[in-house]
A and B are shown apart, each in its own frame.
Chain A
Amino acid sequence: MPDQVAVEGRYGAEAPARDVVIRVRGLVTRFGRQVIHEGLDLDVRKGEVLGVVGGSGTGKSVLLKEILGLIRPAAGRIELLGRDTDRLSVAQRVAVQARTGVLFQDGALFSSMTVAENVMVPLKEHTNLPDALIREVARVKIAMTGLPPNAGPKYPSELSGGMRKRAGLARALALDPDILFLDEPTAGLDPIGAAAFDQLIRNLQRSLGLTVCMVTHDLDSLTSICDRIAVLVDKKIRVGTLDELLRDDHPWIHDYFHGPRGRAARHAEA
């Protein structure tokens, strides 16, 4: 693959290319005259849980959508699993998409299908497994996300918000993706449900060997399950572990982690 060699030659000094599953370089996003990201760089390493935080309107969700290929950035390059997303053929794009799973904010389940059917959609589209096995796999995924067995034949409108998220997670994990994207996974859950969901993500990440990239506002999630944290400030990203960011003297980062809520979350963790 000549493409990959060129990449390693160019950025080889920073991190071995095979350990980086998402690489964003010089990303620029503009809406009209408003600049959201300007020369943003980000590396997501294999097997880590990365939390993306930032104030409202700093473009967290936009960044997620750009990595997923739902929005085209104005400039810059995005590599997913070692491939430049801009230069993929249709077949390659589908192949990359099959290796990424996304949990949208409220699950984004197809409302005309039952939970089990929702989980079966990617399996039916991307594999030629026998039907009985697909049903079985869907059942296992639903059980692995902590839903009761009778949730399978239910429709999304019959589930609570937390259960919808679990069902969305089951669908995102249907194809055993390498990378899992989560958009505010704990928003709208009660603290106990949110903690359980955090733990679920951590467990699944360990057992399935996932790389997780999550946009979140939840300080508890950040302190309890994230290996590294990416902070969107000044149209760029600063990445570090919690300890590194605690020492950062950027005013927004300082306020974020040293504010009353940040302190409480860290206290609870310690």
Chain B
Amino acid sequence: MAPQRAWMQASRDGDGAWLVTAGGRWDLEGAGGLSGDVDRVRPDARGAAVRIDLGCLDTLDTVGALLLARLAERLKGEGHTVEVAPIRPEHAPLFEAVRAAAITPPVHHDRPHPILDMLERAGRTTVEALREGVDLLSFLGLMTITFGRILARPSRLRLTSVLFHIEQTGLNALPILGLLSFLIGVVMAFQGADQLRRFGADIYVVNLLGISILRELGILMTAIIVAGRSGSAFTAQIGTMKVNQEVDAISTLGLDPVELLVVPRALALIISLPLLAFYADLMGLFGGAVMSYFVLDISFGQFLRQLQFAVGPGALVVGLVKAPVFALVIAMVGCYEGLKVSGSAESVGRLTTKSVVESIFLVMVLDAVFSVLFSFLGV
């Protein structure tokens, strides 16, 4: 026999009391539509005695019990005396449990005014950004002190770890960095040639390539790719160790997490980033030379001669001098965010994203600072 849908009727019983009878299937499927009907039940006399008859129920689950318990509580609140009887013995414990749970008052959390809320969030974000800046600066100080301690006792440097990270951040980045720099050179040469040909100044493509790649593009490309590849990896590695409490274990074993985890990574990046930048310069120029050969008929010999004439070693130095600074910033942000991971695996993902965004942002800002500085120095 298929159970009936839920039904409910209100009537007067023999003793003049109100009688609400519920029957059928009071569960998720049967009773969901009844919530409106239940709320409309209203005895005609004030303060009348009400009896809720649940003897005809086929099934009862939490939703059904909640609707009925809510009815009982509401009628009680309106000044009626409420009695729930009869109720089948198998339904009684559930009804009582739900009734007890339902009378706990709901928690109201007031929604703030939208504009005030926006202001508050803006303020919170600003304060947080400032605090983050201060923390990053303190972390730089911590790294410097640890560097100094290692300089005093070089035997404490983890050489294997440094070499491992040079391989990871330097050697393994060669293919992708080479390809991207080559393509940048190709694109620059192509676009430059298009413009310069109008003045018959084809050969100056070489000057354009030389100056832009050596001074800016080579190192910037390298820094951005390394921030995306290695900065994020630092955060994820250290963050995972933090979640697994490995970092705490390191501390309790009398070791220094900064010395063990941060310094080798920073040192490795400071060594590998200038090398990578030099390699990116070469590949970029090579890409430009290939394109010049095909589009402008400038032979490799001509290209090299013009390059020698156009840029001195100063341009290369100006580019490469920035590399260790960028390396330090990327490693610092990557490790700092990694150590800030707390609790859940979810925060590893969030802070990894943050680390990449932050380090690319800082690289760009520092690049601008360098430009201003170099123009003052007249380099």
- Inter-chain CA distance A136–B35, complex, in Å, is 11
Contact B90 A150 (CB under 8 A): no
- Inter-chain CA distance A163–B104, complex, in Å, is 18
Contact A207 B102 (CB under 8 A): no
Partner of B66, one of A137, A204, A208: A137
Interface residues of A in 15-53 (CB under 8 A from B): none
Closest beta carbon of chain B to A170's beta carbon, Å: 11
Query: Closest residue to A142 on the B side, CB-wise?
Result: B101
- Inter-chain CA distance A140–B63, complex, in Å, is 9
- Of B28, B90, B109, chain A has the most CB atoms within 10 Å of the CB of B28
| B343 CB–A CB distance under 8 Å | yes
Query: Closest residue to A152 on the B side, CB-wise?
Result: B107
Interface size on B, residues (CB 8 A): 28
Contact B93 A207 (CB under 8 A): yes
Closest beta carbon of chain B to A126's beta carbon, Å: 8
- Of A128, A130, A143, A207, chain B has the most CB atoms within 10 Å of the CB of A207
Chain A residues closer than 8 Å to B67, beta-carbon distance: 133
Q: Mark B84-112, 1 if CB is under 8 A from A, else 0.
A: 00000010011011101110111101000
Interface residues of A in 46-101 (CB under 8 A from B): none
Chain B residues closer than 8 Å to A141, beta-carbon distance: 62, 101
Q: Mark B332-353, 1 if CB is under 8 A from A, else 0.
A: 0000000000011010000000
| A206 CB–B CB distance under 8 Å | yes
| A203 CB–B CB distance under 8 Å | yes
Given known A-B contacts A111-B346, A176-B61, A176-B63, A143 and B102 have beta carbons under 8 A apart: yes
Query: Closest residue to A143 on the B side, CB-wise?
Result: B101
Q: Mark B25-37, 1 if CB is under 8 A from A, else 0.
A: 0011100100100
The majority secondary structure among interface residues of chain A is helix
| A175 CB–B CB distance under 8 Å | yes
Chain A residues closer than 8 Å to B96, beta-carbon distance: 207
Closest beta carbon of chain B to A201's beta carbon, Å: 13
Given known A-B contacts A111-B344, A140-B102, A208 and B32 have beta carbons under 8 A apart: no
Contact B98 A144 (CB under 8 A): yes
Partner of B101, one of A140, A150, A157, A209: A140
Chain A residues closer than 8 Å to B35, beta-carbon distance: 129-130, 132-133
Contact B93 A206 (CB under 8 A): yes
Chain A residues closer than 8 Å to B66, beta-carbon distance: 133, 136-137, 140
Chain B residues closer than 8 Å to A129, beta-carbon distance: 28, 32, 35, 63
- Inter-chain CA distance A225–B37, complex, in Å, is 40
| A12 CB–B CB distance under 8 Å | no
Partner of A175, one of B28, B90, B102: B28
Interface size on A, residues (CB 8 A): 30
Chain A residues closer than 8 Å to B93, beta-carbon distance: 206-207
- Inter-chain CA distance A175–B94, complex, in Å, is 14
- Inter-chain CA distance A139–B63, complex, in Å, is 11
Contact B61 A153 (CB under 8 A): no
| A149 CB–B CB distance under 8 Å | yes
- Inter-chain CA distance A136–B93, complex, in Å, is 19
- Inter-chain CA distance A128–B66, complex, in Å, is 16
Chain B residues closer than 8 Å to A203, beta-carbon distance: 97
- Inter-chain CA distance A139–B27, complex, in Å, is 17
Chain A residues closer than 8 Å to B343, beta-carbon distance: 157
Query: Closest residue to B95 on the A side, CB-wise?
Result: A207
Contact A176 B107 (CB under 8 A): no
Closest beta carbon of chain A to B30's beta carbon, Å: 11
In the assembled complex, 16 residue pairs joining A and B whose CB atoms fall closer than 8 Å, in A order, are A127-B29, A127-B32, A133-B66, A133-B67, A136-B70, A136-B102, A137-B66, A139-B102, A140-B66, A144-B101, A149-B107, A152-B107, A157-B343, A176-B27, A176-B28, A208-B94
Footprint of B on A, CB under 8 Å?
A: 111-112, 126-130, 132-133, 136-137, 139-141, 143-144, 149-150, 152-153, 157, 173, 175-176, 203-204, 206-209
Footprint of A on B, CB under 8 Å?
A: 27-29, 32, 35, 61-63, 66-67, 70, 90, 93-94, 96-98, 100-102, 104-107, 109, 343-344, 346
Closest 5 CB pairs of A and B: A143-B101, A207-B93, A176-B61, A129-B32, A207-B97
